[in-house]
Amino acid sequence: MLIPIRDHNPPTKRPFVTYALIVANIVVFVGYAGLFAQELRLMEFFQSWGMLPARLRLGDGYITLITHQFLHADLLHLGCNLLFLWIFGNNMEDVWGHFRFLGFYLLCGISAAGLQFASDPDSVIPMVGASGAIAGVLGGYLLFYPRARVDLFLFLIVIFRVIPTPAWVVLGGWFTLQILGGLSVPAGDGGVAYWAHAGGFLAGIALSFPLWRRMGGRAFWSRCLGQPPHPEARYRFVASSVPKSGKPARATRPGPWDRK
């Protein structure tokens, strides 16, 4: 299993909107968490506030194009989405500015719902999750910082390792998996909304393209070779000098275990 845990692209200003989106998603989840013990009521809640393609086709429920972005099917769904938003959202907020980033984020979520709707407009399965909006963040990030370093945590039974990887490999690979998933899953099946992910990602690139052009386009890439135009973050872990319980203390000299 490969999980992104951080990038080496520190923001230049505090990402208040990213923090607010993370908090909002957590607060909303806590607000309806009691329904998980009542499956029927939970489904009714998702059908009311999740994006239901068949409902939209009848001209109703347009507010769900926004509300579905703050609902999640379970704690793992929430955690994975917020991890990606935490890693990549601050840099997109840096590029867009606080309020424009919020508009960008919500528009990506709406676009994601649009492609999911187009893939199966008669579906009565509600779509929930911030994945589409966050996919747009990933698409914008890929456009601006294709060679930024992203640390992937490798977990393979007893093997644990952090692997620095260019953003274009991480995000391009993720997008490819969404396309393959969408092509392999028949329309009408529940589960992962692959086309919503793909739609959000493409919307993120399309919406970011004019801003990228104003920042110089290829000249922007040339100045920094696709990497962040500021010093990258460095992470260092050092050995602890605290002795283990039951063993005598001895002099230790901290040294780097990992340098990324």
Domains identified in the chain, total number: 1
What is the SS3 assignment for 104-126? HHHHHHHHHHHHHHHHCCCCCCC
C-alpha to C-alpha distance for 12 and 155, rounded to whole angstroms? 31
**Per-residue pLDDT of the chain in tens (260 residues, 90 and over written 9):** 678 999 999 999 999 999 999 999 999 999 999 999 999 999 999 999 999 999 999 999 999 999 999 999 999 999 999 999 999 999 999 999 999 999 999 999 999 999 999 999 999 999 999 999 999 999 999 999 999 999 998 887 777 888 899 999 999 999 999 999 988 876 556 678 899 999 999 999 999 999 999 999 888 888 877 877 776 777 764 443 434 444 444 434 443 333 33
* Helix H or strand E segment including 98: helix 98-119
Report pLDDT for 227: 79
Helix (H), strand (E), coil (C) string for the chain: CEEEEEECCCCCCCCHHHHHHHHHHHHHHHHHHHHHHCHHHHHHHHHHHCECHHHHHCCCCCCHHHHHHHCCCCHHHHHHHHHHHHHHHHHHHHHHCHHHHHHHHHHHHHHHHHHHHHHCCCCCCCECCCHHHHHHHHHHHHHHCCCCEEEEEEEECCEEEEEEEEHHHHHHHHHHHHHHHHHHCCCCCCCCCHHHHHHHHHHHHHHHHHHHHHCCCHHHHHHHCCCCCCCCCCCEEECCCCCCCCCCCCCCCCCEEEEC
The pLDDT value given to residue 188? 55
Range of the domain at 103: 2-259
Q: What is the pLDDT of residue 122?
A: 92
CB atoms within 10 A of CB 186: 6
CATH assignment of the domain containing 106: 1.20.1540.10
Phi-psi region of 246 (alpha: psi -120 to 50; beta: other; left: phi over 0): left
Enclosing H/E stretch for 159? strand 159-166
Output the CA–CA distances (angstroms, integers) from residue 220 to 147, 151, 212, 259, in the order listed: 13, 24, 8, 28
